[in-house]
Structures are given as C-alpha cells and as structure tokens.
Amino acid sequence: MCKTSLKKRTVTKFKKSKKRSKYYGGMPIDIPDWVKIKDFRTMDDFKKQCAVNGCEHCRIEWMIEEINEFYEAVSHGNKDDIEDEAMGLIRTYQQFGNVSGVLELWKKVRNHVLEVFSTRDIFDNAFEKWHVKKRKKNQAIGVTSQQLIDISGLSL
C-alpha cells in the first residue's frame, strides 16, 4: 500500500479570490484561494505509477496537481497553455473520476475548465495538439475528442 498522506487543504471549501482574478478570452476566471500556482509539484514517477495501479490517494494527489497546473496557466494568461492544461485536467478526471475525492475536485473546477472551450472548433484544435504530444509519449492512446467532451459535460 502507498503511504502517501493527503494534506488538509485538499478538502477546504471553494472560495473565490478577488485579488487573483485573471481573464481568459474576455471571461473572468477567478483563481480559488485553495489552489496553489507556485511550488506545488509533488507527483513523481513512483506516485504516478501508484495512481495508475489504482491508489486512491495518489489519484487525488495527481488531480490536485493537474488543477494547480491549470490555474498556474490561467495566471500566466497564455491561451495555448490554458487549453492544454484544461485538456489534461479533463483527461485526469476521465481516468480517475471513479474516486469520489477526484469527482469532488472536478465539480469545484469544472465551470472554469468549461469556460475555456466555447466552441467545438476550439476544443478539437486543442485536443489535437494535446493528443499529438501524448501519443509521442505512448499515452492517451485511443482517447477521442468526443469522449472528453462527453465526460466533461460540455455541450458543443
């Protein structure tokens, strides 16, 4: 069994931060107070393999890291990076959403993730770029744009 312990902040309530409000495509995305956008990386190869093997702790920890990466990109304001991280977050939810802690985290951030993709074209273009990178690493094989749209609840 994995000895990874989760920090309390993973279950803190959703709060909006007025101070750290950033804008994407004219739509505001307020970075929640419980999100870390600096010095947040905790997932190493061991933990990632542990998550793939089914460890709930590591799945939740990975989801938190993906969420932090998404908001880090939001804070930098680069459109391509924001779309790439949003796609990665949806994929992580697709993989690990059977864990209730991952599902809870997804519910907290889904509205912001969905704001990034206002049209099917934007989504498909972002998916293609993301999927090319993943396939080079032999990852996300067989994952389709439609699957990620369906699981995220986007109506595009």
Binding residues for Zn ion, rule: CB under 5 A, are: 2, 4, 50, 55, 57-58
> For Zn ion, which is the closer residue by CB, 47 or 131?
47
The whole-angstrom separation of Cα 116 and Cα 24 is: 7
| Dihedral sign from CA coordinates of 103, 106, 108, 110 | negative
Distance of closest approach, residue 155 Cβ to Zn ion, in angstroms:
35
Rg from Cα positions in the chain: 15
For Zn ion, give the closer residue by CB, 60 or 113. Answer: 60
If you count them, how many residues does the chain have? 156
Quick one: 50 or 113, whose CB is closer to Zn ion?
50
CB of 56 to Zn ion, least distance (A): 8
For 16-40, b where at least 16 C-beta lie within 10 A, e where not — what string? eeeebebebeeeebbbbebbbbeee
Q: How far is the CB of 57 from Zn ion (least distance, A)?
A: 5
Q: Find the shortest distance in angstroms from Cβ 47 to Zn ion.
A: 6
32/101 with CB nearer Zn ion: 101
